[in-house]
Amino acid sequence: MYELPEIEYWKMILAGQLSGKTIEHISTPDKVMHKQLTGIIKQIQGVLVWHIERRGLYLSFHLDNGQRFVIELNNDTAISIISTKELRDKKPKSLNVHFSDQVLQLQNISVEQIQLISVREAEQQFKPLGLDPLDRSFTLERMQQIFAQKRSSIKTAYLDQTLIAGIGDKYSDEIAFAARLSPAYKMNELTSEQWESLYEATRNVLKQAVDHYIALDCPVYEPTSNLDQYKEHLQVFEREGIACPNCKQPIVKKVIARKKTYLCHTCQPTN
Ligand SMILES: [Zn+2]
């Protein structure tokens, strides 16, 4: 499941491994996909990757021909970097971006998740995205400006990518727990102390998850195993019936903002 920390982790891995390298070609054993991507395949050949950035839940490769190669990861997509030899041996059904000695492998990806666009088009596409919680511009004051007038719940507000980008079901629940607030709490009724708790929890939960992935230092050719390992560090998400790490009461599952939501009734009061 990809949310901001997982994509941030992959951005760092890919930037470290692929920045400064030239895309030799793109291949896929899927003939239909190959045909649909003909335009991109032709244009991207021999183009150098300057660097890679994350925008919300997108990975954006800055290319030396002035274009952006944008990948949107969904929960089924597995991403990995393998050697050219491994690709030859395994022949996986994936979309493969070939560099001189490495292959960026994207499994379970559709053509809709891949774009080769101009800088201007990329900026237009990313424009609606809200604040990035790992960006320096994400301050308590800025957060309050954006959320203060929202009458919606924390859960609804945090899932709205035009307000805050990159957070989904998992980290919205984890952040609300760390802030000791129910995800159903109305944003416009938060006290100044609760604003601070929510702000600190947002920064800390996301940073800790990124740091955890970095510390694992898993081989990048095992696409999802390293991300799965973080599950045991989650405090409430998908832990229905398990003791709350703070008060030992069972975690409950509720529907808030039409989404499955995990929380502790004792630790997370609502208004
Ligand atoms: Zn509790």
Distance 178 CA to ligand 1 centre (A): 10
pLDDT at 130 over 70: yes
Q: Are 126 and 160 in contact (CB under 8 A)?
A: no
The ranges assigned to domains in the chain are 4-126, 140-263
Q: How confident is the model at residue 222 (pLDDT cuts 50, 70, 90)?
A: low
Using the mean position of ligand 1's atoms as its centre, give its distance from the Cα of residue 206 in Å: 20
Predicted pLDDT at 76: 81
Q: What angle do CA 171, 175, 181 make, to 5 degrees?
A: 135
Tell me what pLDDT residue 52 has. 96
**What does the mean pLDDT of the chain come to?**
90
CA of 254 to the centre of ligand 1 (A): 15
- Same-fold call for 4-126 versus 140-263: no
Average pLDDT over residues 31-56: 94
Q: What's the CA gap between 242 and 249, in Å, rounded?
A: 8
Measured between alpha carbons, how far is 111 from 16 in angstroms, rounded to an integer? 26
**Rounded distance from Cα 245 to ligand 1 centre (Å):** 7
Burial of 133 (0-12, 13-18, 19+ CB in 10 A): buried
Share above pLDDT 70 across residues of the chain, in percent, rounded to a whole number: 93
Helices (H) and strands (E) in the chain, counts: 10, 11
- Higher local confidence (pLDDT), 69 or 56: 69
pLDDT, mean of residues 46-64 = 95
For domain 4-126, the CATH architecture is Alpha-Beta Barrel (3.20)
pLDDT at 70: 97
d(CA 19, ligand 1 centre) in Å? 44
Instruction: Give pLDDT tens digits for 131-164.
Output: 999 999 999 999 999 988 788 999 999 999 999 9
Cα of 145 vs centre of ligand 1, distance in Å, is 30
Q: How far is the CA of 224 from the centre of ligand 1 (A)?
A: 30
- Do the beta carbons of residue 175 and residue 198 sit within 8 Å? yes
How far apart, in whole angstroms, are the C-alpha atoms of residue 105 and residue 109?
A: 10
Q: Which two tokens stand for residue 10?
A: 């992959």
Amino acid at 243: A
What is the CB-side half-sphere exposure of residue 36 using CA atoms within 13 A?
13
Q: For residues 13 and 17, give the distance between their C-alpha atoms in angstroms, rounded to a whole number.
A: 6
Report how far ligand 1's centroid is from the alpha carbon of 135 (Å): 30
As its CATH architecture, domain 140-263 has Orthogonal Bundle (1.10)
